[in-house]
Amino acid sequence: MTDALDTVFAALADPTRRTILAMLLEDDMAVTDVAEPFDISLAAISKHLTILTRAGLISQDKRGRVKWCKLEPDAMRAASVWMQGFGQFTPVDLDDFEKFLEAELGD
Amino acid sequence: MTDALDTVFAALADPTRRTILAMLLEDDMAVTDVAEPFDISLAAISKHLTILTRAGLISQDKRGRVKWCKLEPDAMRAASVWMQGFGQFTPVDLDDFEKFLEAELGD
DNA sequence: ATTATCGTCAACCATTTGGTTGAATATACG
DNA sequence: CGTATATTCAACCAAATGGTTGACGATAAT
């Protein structure tokens, strides 16, 4: 009885994982490159990626010895719709969102 | 350095808490009445309500010996905007959402 | 063939989470 | 006053979470 919303919201609750998703918004990335900006072990990043994959938020495609991570934003749709049912939030200003992302990615 | 998004998404990751929010969409409720449909102890519900309060998703107003719980949907705005940055999801069909809620509330 | 790189696995650890029960604190009722 | 109701607190427990390290299986490079 564990809902898809459970795993999506739980995946989004961790700041490392949200940052990873924001990174993947710019481009597909190999696991090692995803890990590079973080101060935690590669194994820890690997676990985060597994959680994101199980939530459907990313997909992983192994080509040769490198595994490419790709954002799958559709997995957010149900959760997004659920939340919007609680209020009509201001329409998304994508410029604002980009500024927000730049701040969060710290560059 | 624990983000507001952390606590909001974490609060939403639990199905009991999401159901409580959906219940509060219809009306403000006392703690005991919130607990009634669930098969867990009142103390457990009290903890869930504390988590929702700390996330800002509800407020609690004690009048006499009863504590009224009120939905605070504005707390979802930042999280909703964050998610929408990942894709332009279909505009919310409120009729669909109500059907969904009825199903989730099981009545 | 050897060595280096990519990524996961397994075992472990500390902390958090979601639940329990029983006692405690208010407030309301008769 | 004494009792019932509403809610939280405290102590406890099992399971999940996020992290570590070291070994391991692939694949690529020299």
Which residue type, as a one-letter code, is found at position A61?
D
Please give the residue that has the higher pLDDT: either B86 or A104: B86
Contact residues, chain A to chain B, C-beta under 8 Å: 1-3, 5-6, 9-10, 12-15, 18, 21, 25, 71, 73-74, 76-77, 79-90, 92, 94, 96-97, 100-101
Fold of B4-101: Arc Repressor Mutant, subunit A (1.10.10)
Using CA atoms, how far residue A29 sits from A22, A24, B36, B68, in Å, is 12, 7, 48, 48
Distance from CA of B41 to the nearest CA of A (A): 20
Measured from the Cβ of residue B72, the count of other Cβ atoms closer than 10 Å reads 18
pLDDT at B90: 55
Copy the structure tokens of residue B94.
Answer: 């409120």
Could you tell me which chain B residue has the CA closest to the CA of A87?
B73
Report the SS3 class of residue A37.
coil
Residue numbers in chain A where pLDDT is lower than 70: 1, 88-107
- Cβ contact A100–B89 (<8 Å): no
A77 close to B86: Cβ distance less than 8 angstroms: no
A12 close to A52: Cβ distance less than 8 angstroms: no
List the A17 CA – D19 C1' distance (angstroms). 14
B9 close to A12: Cβ distance less than 8 angstroms: yes
CATH of domain A4-105: 1.10.10.10
Averaged confidence pLDDT in chain B:
89
List the A51 CA – C14 C1' distance (angstroms). 21
- Cβ contact A5–B12 (<8 Å): yes
Q: Which of A30-34, B33-37, B71-75, B80-84 has the lowest mean pLDDT?
A: B80-84
Please give the residue that has the higher pLDDT: either B83 or B102: B83
Which residue type, as a one-letter code, is found at position B86?
F
Which residue type, as a one-letter code, is found at position A71?
L
pLDDT at A4: 94
Report the SS3 class of residue B60.
strand
Choose, out of B14, B23, B86, the residue to mutate when testing the contact with A (most A CBs < 10 Å).
B86
